[in-house]
Amino acid sequence: MGDVLKDDDFLDAALMTINAERVLKEYQKNIQYLDGMKFLIRPIKVVRTRIVHKSRNYSIIDDQLYFQGRDDVLRQTIRKGEISRLLYEFHDGFYGSHFASLITTEKILQTSYYSPTFFKDAHDYCRNCDVCQTYA
């Protein structure tokens, strides 16, 4: 067998290093609540209920934030900045063949990554893809 080279540009290598401390503000309230089942500031009841409701599908495992959907699969949450790299890889890159936004999103979800805006971001990305618009 050949030697396996370490590739820092490989998508999974970069995404697997994301931990709960580096997650953007969109997950920060969920992490604070899950970390100690408490709030740093005393929000009003409506805001507190919303945070508890949104946090019920999230778990912190080994300093990683995961989302568990209706299919009971744990998916690692990713930051907004990583979404464009994933979309490039699964639409234009090695994993993709300029599929439509729904198929691109399904391929990403099958690899156990999650973002609440995947479907919208994939739709926008495919709409702005020059190759797709040329042959569509």
Residue pLDDT, tens place only, 100-113? 889 999 999 999 99
Backbone torsion region of residue 62, taken as left when φ is above 0, otherwise alpha when ψ lies between -120 and 50, otherwise beta: left
- Take residue 27 and report the two structure tokens written for it: 């997950």
Per residue in 37-74, pLDDT (tens digit) is 666 566 677 777 877 787 888 888 887 889 998 888 99
Q: Where are the alpha helices (DSSP H) in the chain?
A: 11-15, 25-36, 45-55, 80-87, 101-110, 118-127, 130-135
